[in-house]
Structure formats: structure tokens, C-alpha cells
Amino acid sequence: MTLTLTDVRLTYPDGDRRLIALDAVDLRIAAGELVAVTGPSGSGKSSLLAVAGALTNPESGTVRIEDIDVTSLDQQGRDRLRRERIGFVFQQANLLASLTALDQLLLVAHLSGGSRRSAEARARALLDRVGLGGKAHKRPHQLSGGERQRVGFARALMGSPALLLVDEPTSALDHDRGAVVVRLLRDITHEQQVATVLVTHDLQYLHLADRTVAMRDGRVCSPAEVSPHSPAAVPGR
């Protein structure tokens, strides 16, 4: 599956004028590709995730997930698309305090319907994949920050998404734990052929991405277009 944004524009009201959040954005991310998106605060990174994740419809342009024109869907269609094709990993893991790691994943399966037995088998396999098979019955307070983030990855993968949108997953982690999380994200992207967008301010992890794009003033830029003193100026591989 691929994600393709074509000439996408999005603005927000700001008093008697409108602020440009995305300005003629063109971006294509292939299946099995991890693309890091970086740039200063206010550059449009969060707006890019919102549009790519069918949370916000752009004012113009198109967003496609493989053969699906996201911008043509009604609210019910966008809700279904997020449930069936898109996985989200947030800055904080946002786990439910009363649920074990296993139950966090099973809740996703329950909301989507399907067999409890097959869902549990998939959930355990995913927890094994992220190195938490032995902690399936631990609750969030019994897990480290990096472990909670890995549960968040596994939860995002429960629906076998075509697109994975990841927002600042290392912001609350030290360098070593952050590197483990980003390497895991890269490996999962390649193994499961997911199109992955990683928004990050942590320039130390950019070399782990397949490609890096920079954003400035709502536009996707080449590193050469951004000031060398800006975080967005550091290219990926």
C-alpha cells in the first residue's frame, strides 16, 4: 500500500485571516518505506499527520491510500478507513491503566469484530515481535516508558494497517530506549510492508529512516531549502 498526497492545501481560521497549515504538499510514501518528517514547530508536521490519517479533510488536493481517495469519503467512510487501514502511534502511549498489555491489543480487535481466539493469537504474536511476550499480563504502571511505547506499536498493528502514522515516539525516552523504538519501527515497516510516516524532532535517529523530508511554512522542502541552523536541515539517507 502507498500513501500519496497531491497538491494538498489546508488552512485554519486565525481572527480575520487564515493561517496556512499545508501549502501545495506533494508527498508519496511507498509500502515498506519509513519516512521521517522533521521541521520546526508550526511547520505543518501535525497537520500532515491529520490529513494523512483521515482526521481532517484538506481544502483542496487529494489524499490516496493505495486505490482509495480519502478526500472523497464521508465521515463514516473515513472512520472505517482509520479502523481498517491506518495505525496511529502517539507521542504518549495512551494505554488504559486498568488493562494488561495483551488486553490493550484485544480491545482493538473487539472494536473491529472477529474471532477472540484468532485475535488473541495475533496479539500474542505482536507482543512477541516487540519483545514483550513475557509481559503480556503486565499493566502500564508495571512497564517502563520504552515498553509502554512498544505496546503502543503492537496495538497500532493489530488491524494489519496499510499506513502507520507515528508522532514523536521518542520524546519521553532516553537515547538508548529511543534508538530501540525507532529501530523496531523500521524493522516492522520493512517486514510488514507498511507505509510509515514518522514525525520527529530527534535528529539523532534520522539515519534510521529510509528517507527524510523537511517541512517549513506548510511546505515539503529539500534540506537545501531550509536554513542550515534549522532542525529540518539535517537530511536522512
pLDDT of amino acid 237 = 36
**In the chain, what are the domain boundaries?**
3-233
* CB-CB neighbours of 113 under 10 Å: 8
pLDDT level of residue 154 (50, 70, 90 thresholds): very high
In this prediction, residues 100-124 reach a mean pLDDT of 87
Assign 16 to helix, strand or coil: coil
Residue 229, pLDDT > 50, answer no
Map grid coordinates 520504552 to a residue.
Answer: 146
**Nearest Cα to 151, choosing from 167, 162, 163, 139?**
139
Euclidean distance between CA atoms 213 and 206, whole angstroms? 10
Q: How far apart are CA 148 and CA 154, in angstroms?
A: 10
pLDDT of residue 116: 81
What is the helix, strand, coil percentage profile of the chain, to 5?
A: 40, 25, 35
Q: What is the mean pLDDT of the chain?
A: 88
Domain formed by 3-233, architecture: 3-Layer(aba) Sandwich (3.40)
Averaged pLDDT for residues 54-59: 94
Alpha carbons within 13 A on the beta-carbon side of 166: 34
Instruction: Identify the band that residue 30 occupies on the pLDDT scale cut at 50, 70 and 90.
Output: very high
Q: How far apart are CA 41 and CA 121, in angstroms?
A: 41
